[in-house]
Structure 1
């Protein structure tokens, strides 16, 4: 080897950070949640860490074989049922679009609560099977994992992490009780809107009433779905004096799939690490045929439309209206659609069963993204500076799009009333009104202006927890306090009692002095 080659190798070795491979146990959530968890899994693997993923036998997305992780399949049905969720989505769309009785709507909401209840029940059954399998538990202990990485939308990973006595890191936006901040950070209802209310941090008196009423409704959902399931399980395995949410609140680091280009300003905590857009990356070249189609758009550019994995097609009349609207535009359209081909489909529209969303959004010819409002799609649109037309359907999608609309980067439509003309007008507004693209560029600039990439920040904190066996110094202990202690009601009561005692003594003293004074005057007069 030449001296130059040896010198080059020495420089590379010295400049490369040391890699101390850790062992990470991942307890993921199925569906789209796994898509972004897998980004972290792949990065951990790339940095020399050994990753093991626990998966139920009926999982929808999580593969049993991967070059990036070793899978442990639990013989328990605790995955997402794609068919049931797809049916629920279609029923929701039909009810909103064609109208229904109040009873039908309430029945649909009740069915959703029942679905979440059954999912929670299945997850706890899966965790119980793990806990009761002494051989498996011993093998998990013998593996000497450094931490558990989990999504607390379901509680399985939280329970397993505590049972194994391992540090906990969350890949989080939601817990089993709702938006994650509410579980750990101060969340005054006076200016922190409950997700789903479509309110900002500047609420009128009536909006604050609405916010509190919605909060009460979410408490009812927790009472119905979580409270019957988790306390008996937690009391059995962790003790009668343990509240199940304490196990969530005791996590070391919360990697939050959000940031303040999306979230309204609010209180936070030292162990919340914001990593919004961690899954975003520069676009890759498109397949040749797709690139040729995009280039054929000329100066007009391309519109991309996809409504997520659960919505493969829309009601036929709506599909016809959307296709007819697209046909009147000079832009080319790439539309993920697996249903019947619309009769109004124009020559400018390409239907695909699947499309490379990130690569299309990152293409310089993409002008508008028509989306359903999933968090991943919102963040990719921000990253690639593409304004939005929204057709939100369910869950947090309406709220996500409300936040985008409040920043002037999206036009949001109601699936119940949208037709050809409304859809076409929305597309033209976002395409030809410069403010949408300009404001999205500003939002993207704010999002990108960070000292390190969100994924690098997430991995740093995971490795930080590995190095220090946790991050207890960042974790508040306030969750161990009762509501009376947390709001200092006992202190106020004590001080009030003292004040009342002093006031009583003062009153008696004044009365005594007054009577003494009157007695002396009377004595002098006599």
Structure 2
């Protein structure tokens, strides 16, 4: 017992040892940075020395944090909603994937040309651990080889199809919907077929639209080296911003850990003026935001006018995150609406007067609404938002409307049911309790597993052995082939044996007895038929 306690103390001491970490976050998406920033800040507070390459520097970095700012190297990603319909034959999820991959590869290219970044990579500085963003490009994976350090990935969404392949994580397309397809977990035959095809297409697109151009960038920056697809199979750990309570129940290998909701504050606080407005809204509050990437004010004027007409009928106060100055001059904002350029979302959603959240279905906002027990009206626009929206409707806490099919009666019906039927609030409170019930806080879990990788020098034992199998071995095609071969061979041997025995029996049987047996059989059949006729036995 004493030896065991000593081992635990030594393990804790190893975890407390400060390490040199390099975090490379090339994507300039503010929503992603919310998650990444929280975990990097927590690591810095545990006295690890961090070097961070980011578009969003810390406002007050700690002394043990060095930042290389990428701010201004690329405009922040924004989605303009003026064009709702797309005149193209490509499926919506294919357009989304191509756009995501292009943005990520472009970000890698821009970051790789920043002089300060190149100077860092050419210096003699060493690191104990590399942290990279896992999303649409693997261009910085060679850093693990360069520094001889384990690589940890941060994923801001549910596991992506190509990430599953890289970690040897089962796809389970029969009941786990793909990232870009808004299906539930109980799919029809056609949905299962479409879901499987979507996963295959996503992997093919990733290879040709991301890995090949990313390889060019990596070779230019680090020199010729191992292929990115082989390096991607050596992640020590990937932290996924998902959780089985609100996302899909799915099989997970040990190297893939769910930490959904790690960006959430334990006790979010509101600015004084905002709190006064919310406190005064005794009839209730509807909060509408499409996040940091999609601007509500860019919705076509005719569509936004219909939505405003329905909102004006509500007795509740409506807070909308938007820039009123960007609206068309002929568009009238209802009297019960407050518009603001920035609203502290998590704290607002947790205010007791908030009755409904109108959301685009972004994962971070969905997690915040779930954590606060608020029903949602979801308007999915992009990426995984349709998947998140379907997950919330399946759990009875949300309803879905499509922006391109907006009409007053649809919005009126959904708003009325969400605001008046108590089942949505009841389900939201139940889901909140399930989502928050964890053995440890998600932020603490994320930090624990990163330090676990440090303590165990890469933790190679977390790696799935499925990564060492060929495709035929993984799909058991060789086992199926062997089973069929054994079955056919057994059938062939039995057939030959039966024929041989029959031939020998007939050869040894006396011919006279064979003739006698045939006559006797014939006579017995005739006697049986006579009995049937005499007693008129019917078939029934």
Same-fold status (TM-score > 0.5): yes
In the alignment, structure 1 residue 161 sits paired with structure 2 residue 144: yes
Q: CA deviation at 1:524?
A: 12
Q: Structure 1, residues 298-322: CA drift from partner, whole Å, max 9, x if none?
A: 2x12221111122231222233333
| Distance of 1:108 and 1:186 partners within structure 2 | 25
Q: Is contact 2:377–2:398 with CA below 8 Å preserved after alignment?
A: yes
Q: Secondary structure at the match of 1:42?
A: helix
In the alignment, structure 1 residue 145 sits paired with structure 2 residue 145: no
Q: Is contact 1:282–1:359 with CA below 8 Å preserved after alignment?
A: no
In the alignment, structure 1 residue 277 sits paired with structure 2 residue 275: no
In the alignment, structure 1 residue 332 sits paired with structure 2 residue 317: yes
Q: Secondary structure at the match of 1:82?
A: coil
Moved more, 383-392 or 494-503: 494-503
| Distance of 2:99 and 2:444 partners within structure 1 | 36
| Distance of 1:158 and 1:210 partners within structure 2 | 32
| Number of corresponding residues | 486
| Distance of 1:212 and 1:428 partners within structure 2 | 37
| Distance of 1:450 and 1:175 partners within structure 2 | 18
Q: Secondary structure at the match of 1:229?
A: helix
Written as runs of structure 1 = structure 2, the 5 A alignment for 1:207-218 is: 207-218=191-202
- Distance 1:158-1:407 versus aligned 2 partners, 3 A rule: same
Instruction: Give the corresponding residue for 2:79.
Output: 86
Q: Structure 1, residues 267-303: CA drift from partner, whole Å, max 9, x if none?
A: 22122221111111134432222222112212x1222
In the alignment, structure 1 residue 258 sits paired with structure 2 residue 242: yes
Q: Is contact 1:21–1:49 with CA below 8 Å preserved after alignment?
A: yes
- Distance 1:237-1:518 versus aligned 2 partners, 3 A rule: farther
Unaligned runs of 5+ in 2: 1-11, 514-540
- Distance 1:174-1:304 versus aligned 2 partners, 3 A rule: closer
TM-score w.r.t. structure 2 length?
0.80
Q: Structure 1, residues 46-87: CA drift from partner, whole Å, max 9, x if none?
A: 2222211124xxxxx42387514312357996x5x436x434
User: Which residue of 303, 306, 309 corresponds with 1:318?
Assistant: 303
Moved more, 169-178 or 271-280: 169-178
- Distance 1:346-1:515 versus aligned 2 partners, 3 A rule: closer
Written as runs of structure 1 = structure 2, the 5 A alignment for 1:211-250 is: 211-222=195-206, 224-226=208-210, 228-230=212-214, 237-239=224-226, 244-250=228-234
Unaligned runs of 5+ in 1: 1-15, 56-60
Moved more, 194-203 or 407-416: 194-203
Q: Secondary structure at the match of 1:156?
A: coil
- Distance 1:524-1:74 versus aligned 2 partners, 3 A rule: farther
Written as runs of structure 1 = structure 2, the 5 A alignment for 1:29-428 is: 29-31=27-29, 32-55=31-54, 61-63=55-57, 67-68=61-62, 69-72=65-68, 79=74, 81-82=75-76, 85-87=78-80, 89-91=81-83, 93=84, 95=85, 102-103=87-88, 106=90, 115-116=99-100, 118-122=102-106, 125=109, 136-139=120-123, 142-153=124-135, 154-173=137-156, 178=161, 180-181=163-164, 183=166, 184-222=168-206, 224-226=208-210, 228-230=212-214, 237-239=224-226, 244-298=228-282, 300-312=283-295, 313=297, 314-338=299-323, 339-340=326-327, 343-428=331-416
Q: CA deviation at 1:177?
A: 6.0
| Distance of 2:199 and 2:99 partners within structure 1 | 21
Higher radius of gyration, 1 or 2: 2
User: Which residue of 17, 20, 25 corresponds with 2:22?
Assistant: 25
| Distance of 2:485 and 2:358 partners within structure 1 | 61
Q: Structure 1, residues 175-224: CA drift from partner, whole Å, max 9, x if none?
A: 99647445432122222222333222222223323323433443453354
